[in-house]
Amino acid sequence: MRDVPPPSRRTRLRTSLRAAPTRLKDRSPSAPGFWRSPLRGTWFTAVLGTVLLFGMTLLFVTGLLSYAAYNPDLAPVNDKTPDKGLLGFYLFSWPTDPHWLYRLTQGLHVTVGITLIPVLLAKLWSVLPKLFALPPARSLGHALERLSLLLLVGGALFVFATGVLNVQLEYVFPGSFYPLHFYGAWVFFAAFVAHAALKLPQTVRVLRAGGLRERLRTHEGHGPDDEGEDGLAAPRPAEPTVSRRGALGLVGGGSLLLFATTAGQSFDGWPRATALFAPHGGAEPGRGPGAFQVNKTARSVGVGPDRTGESWRLVVAGPGRTLRLTRADLLGLAQHTADLPIACVEGWSTSDQAWSGVRLRDLAALAGYEDDAPAVLVESLQLRGSFRKAALRDNQVRDPRSLLALRVNGADLTPDHGYPARVIVPAAPGVLNTKWVSRLTFGEL
């Protein structure tokens, strides 16, 4: 070891003065030298982008399925987006089989969405230098692509924010959740498809170049396959504090933590206790046969005992025929049992509960439809909340498991589960399983 004399104060001052203009330029985020992380690079972005390519596609498809599950084309009461136009091109009759269908698709939609948040944040971090890149546009094509990226990033954050807030019942967004999330998703997806198509060749090239292990071990973004001109890799990277493997591990760990503390809200029993932060995780409400998850309590929607007691009547209406039935009348009709879950648009669901009551198609027969039961308009006693009225399609009414339930798990319905009577239909979203039913109108929506 040889001693090197420390530079004199004067020399140091001179060097730093000479470097000053460079430093000032480097302080602007438009300067490539501003961005120092050695992790950034085409490969890192390509890995995250590939995860999002599959993840976002799954979210979009399950989102479209959830939209179809409401049967918005059946009746105006089901349709929160009447001006959808061509965006409803794919709508179809939502099936009743398998009975856990909506539980699966919507559980995936919300759980995968929450799980992808760290990946989205990491992806946005990895491409942040490009936001500040100068000149603003090299060409008309470049300008259009940057405009498209605003729709992509704004759209992704908008859709994730509305979704995450909605499942927590924090309705601070400007308007009704349904149109905001639905149209926002279409704006996002339009930009997403273009972005994926434009970046796919480069992504495939970088990922197929191989050397996965080597790349995970190293720190620097630069590699033989990094195309320098894309401006992602830092030209003067700082000393690494973490390997690529470590960084991807942190992103994956964040996803795993969110998944592990959310997924349990789709199951009864011990798994629900593991969902520490999910809105319907933790404990079941109350005790006894009615101790399973509630979306809206009777109190929260203005249904009190004064209207659900002896004075309650169910109106069953058909063409030229209107019946008024007491709860005892209903219990006197043929009783059937069906094991069905409650599955909410908010992503949580219960396991199968043993419901018993009168088949909807038997009530349709009472209303005058002996053979082929038609669609039905269901009305609730509730004073507040959306879907106080909801329509069910004929395939839902005809399913032998579709009930006007009076009892659950061997006991009368609790007030919060819809006493005196509620609808339960296989594979339907929770809001279409109307509680505190006051009227069924068959054939006219």
Partner 1 sequence: MKRVHASTKQVTAPLKRVTALVRRWYGEGPLHLLLLLASFALALYAGVRLLADDWVMVAVWFVGAALLHDLVLVPVYAAADRAVTALVGGRDGGRRERTMYVRVPAALSLLLLLVWYPLITRQVPRYERSTALPADVFLTRWLLVTAALFAGSALWFAVRAWSAARSASRSGREEGAGRG
Residues 221-260 that bind partner 1 (CB under 8 A): 239-242, 246, 250, 253-254, 257-258
CB under 8 Å to 212, separation ≥6 — which residues? Answer: none
Decide if residue 174 touches partner 1 (CB under 8 A). Answer: yes
Q: Which is nearer to partner 1, 26 or 362 (CB)?
A: 26
Please choose, out of 207-215, 281-289, 326-334, 360-368, the segment that lies near partner 1 by the rule CB under 8 A.
281-289
Decide if residue 124 touches partner 1 (CB under 8 A). Answer: yes
Residue 326 CB, shortest distance to partner 1, in Å, is 28
Instruction: Report the alpha-carbon distance of residue 262 to residue 434 in Å, rounded.
Output: 26
Name all contacts of 28-31 with Cβ < 8 Å and 24+ positions apart. 28/132, 29/129, 29/132, 30/132, 30/133, 30/134
Q: Which is nearer to partner 1, 130 or 398 (CB)?
A: 130
Show contacts with partner 1 in window 307-336 (CB under 8 A): none
Among 61, 131, 212, 273, interactor with partner 1 by CB under 8 A: 131
Residue 179 CB, shortest distance to partner 1, in Å, is 7
- Residue 244: which of 215, 222, 205 has the closest Cα? 215
Question: Site size for partner 1, by CB under 8 A?
Answer: 78
Here's the x/- map for partner 1, 132-161, by CB under 8 A: it reads as: ------xxxxx-xx--x-xx-xxx-xx--x
Structure tokens at 327: 């709860």
Among 31, 53, 77, 117, interactor with partner 1 by CB under 8 A: 117
Other Cβ atoms less than 10 A from the Cβ of 143: the count is 13
Among 190, 331, 333, 366, interactor with partner 1 by CB under 8 A: 190
Residue 177 CB, shortest distance to partner 1, in Å, is 12
Q: Which is nearer to partner 1, 298 or 403 (CB)?
A: 298
Decide if residue 219 touches partner 1 (CB under 8 A). Answer: no
Is beta strand 422-424 parallel, antiparallel or unpaired with respect to 376-380? unpaired
Show contacts with partner 1 in window 406-445 (CB under 8 A): 416
CB under 8 Å to 427, separation ≥6 — which residues? Answer: 69, 94, 95, 96, 97, 98, 99, 100, 101, 102, 103
- List, as one string, the DSSP characters of 272-311: HHH-SSSTT-SSPSSSSTT-S--SS-TGGGT--HHHHSTT
Q: Which is nearer to partner 1, 239 or 306 (CB)?
A: 239
Q: Could you identify the residue written with the tokens 């990491």? A: 122
**Helices and strands counted in the chain (H then E):** 14, 10
